[in-house]
Amino acid sequence: MSAPQAEAVAGDLAGLHFRPMGESDLGWVAAQDAQLYPFPWSEGNFADSISAGYACWVMLDGAERVGYGVLMMVIDEAHILNISVVAARQRGGLGCCLLGHFAELARESGARRLLLEVRPSNGPALALYARAGFQTIGRRKGYYPAVGGREDGLVMSLAL
């Protein structure tokens, strides 16, 4: 995203802020995941991520929760395990803001690169990651459950 585009998005989303995910968010986050994905994370998956010390965040627009994600740090790498914007608010720049938040957290923690996996069938996510500068560096065969079998996961990386 170019600087003018980023400034325009930031101006439209001036009320955005982030806070750590808490126990009171778990039901909401799991419900959102169930609406967004055919094979969602459970409330327990999110609770386990908090317990493991992963960076679990909720994105808010004013008082409204509009996104969430989970970031795992491993030495000098950061790995986005889950990044999601609620269905009603997709395609409005929120994914870019949430991704930017995780990139900044990773940099602050000393990460040199940010990694994630994405389904090849997830065109909107692939476009978002490409605009952010991610590059595909590998493919994990049968990584994701899918209707009627498994789907590969593309491994993407962003140098920080």
List the 149-159 sheet strands across, edge first.
Answer: 16-20, 55-61, 64-74, 77-85, 113-118, 149-159, 135-146
Is 144 among the residues known to form the active site?
Answer: no
Query: Which listed residue (37, 77, 117, 143) is catalytic?
Result: 117
Query: Which listed residue (43, 129, 144, 151) is catalytic?
Result: 129
Given a contact cutoff of 8 angstroms between Cβ atoms, the answer to whether 60 and 66 are in contact is: yes
DSSP H or E segment with residue 157: strand 149-159
Is 129 among the residues known to form the active site?
Answer: yes
Cite the active site residues.
Answer: 117, 129
